[in-house]
Amino acid sequence: MPKKNITRVTGIGSALVDILINESDQFLTNLGKEKGGMTLVENEDIQVILSKSDKTPIVVPGGAACNTIVGIGSLGGDARFIGRRGEDTYGRTFEKQILKNNVEPVVSISNSLTGKVLSVITPDAQRSMFTFLGASTELDPKLITADMFNETAISMIEGYLLFNKDLIIAALKAAKDAGSLVALDLASFEVVNASRDILEDIVKNFVDILIANEDEAKAYTGYDDEQKALERLSQHVTYAVLKIGRRGSYVSFKNNITRIEPQSGNAPKDTTGAGDLWAAGFLFGIAHGFSIEKSGKIASACGYEVCQVMGAQIPEHGWARIKKLI
pTM: 0.89
What's the fold here for domain 9-14+62-113+140-323? UDP-N-acetylmuramoyl-L-alanine:D-glutamate ligase (3.40.1190)
More confident residue, 203 or 33: 203
Angle at 143 between CA 140 and CA 144, to 5 degrees: 95
**Cα(153)–Cα(277) distance, integer angstroms:** 18
- Phi, psi (5° rounding) for residue 95? -70, -40
Q: Where are the domains of the chain?
A: 9-14+62-113+140-323
Q: What is the pLDDT of residues 37-55, one digit of tens each?
A: 788 899 999 999 999 999 9
Q: How much is the pLDDT for 233? A: 97
More confident residue, 230 or 245: 230
The percent of residues in the chain predicted with pLDDT above 70, rounded, is 99
**Cα(305)–Cα(286) distance, integer angstroms:** 20
- Phi, psi (5° rounding) for residue 111? -80, -10
pLDDT at 269 over 90: no
